[in-house]
Amino acid sequence: MHPRLLLLALLAATTACQREADIQPSAQTLAGEVAGTYQTNAYLDPSSVALSASQMPYAELTTESDSTVTLVYTKLYPVKSSERISNVVLNRQADAIQLRVADSSIGTLQTDRIFTNNGMEKQGKLLRVSVQSDPKRSLYFAGFK
């Protein structure tokens, strides 16, 4: 047998027997996928167009369990205040992750067009939250990670 054919056969056999690491299932949970800090800007939330970048509100999602998070919405202007919503249940849908409290939907996280602080458009994860607890108090937030 030719030494080149033997080497080629050995190389082919070694390559065929390697593990396929890219086919492994993801160990990340739904809550781990959405957890983090989301920021907004005047392009995403026109109601904050008069605020400087340091005064923009932000939202944080922290993991409680595999499919439950806590939402903390922080508003920095005119007075710093935070609103906390616990036990937000996450449901994966075809094109988004839905955020639910009790029997009502309070928002979604989906891949969409986002605008960075300098106005550049790109694809990213966009969090939209809308909660109206009473006529005088409502929470609206749109931001990206």
Residue 47 within a domain: yes
Identify the pLDDT of residue 133: 74
Q: Are strands 121-134 and 104-115 parallel, antiparallel or unpaired?
A: antiparallel
Residue 6 within a domain: no
Q: ∠ CA 137-31-145 to the nearest 5 degrees?
A: 65
Identify the pLDDT of residue 17: 60
pLDDT of 36 > 60? The answer is yes
Residue 116 within a domain: yes
Identify the pLDDT of residue 4: 73
Residue 18 within a domain: no
CATH number at residue 85: 2.40.128
Please choose, from the candidates 42, 43, 26, 36, the residue with its C-alpha nearest in 3D space to the C-alpha of residue 125: 36
d(CA 5, CA 10): 9
Residue 104's domain comprises: 28-144
Domain count, the chain: 1
Average the pLDDT over 89-97 and give the result.
93
Residue 11 within a domain: no
Encoded amino acid at 101, one letter: V
Identify the pLDDT of residue 43: 87
pLDDT of 13 > 70? The answer is no
Task: Kindly write down the DSSP assignment for every residue of 28-47, as one continuous string.
Answer: --HHHHH-EEEE--TTT-GG
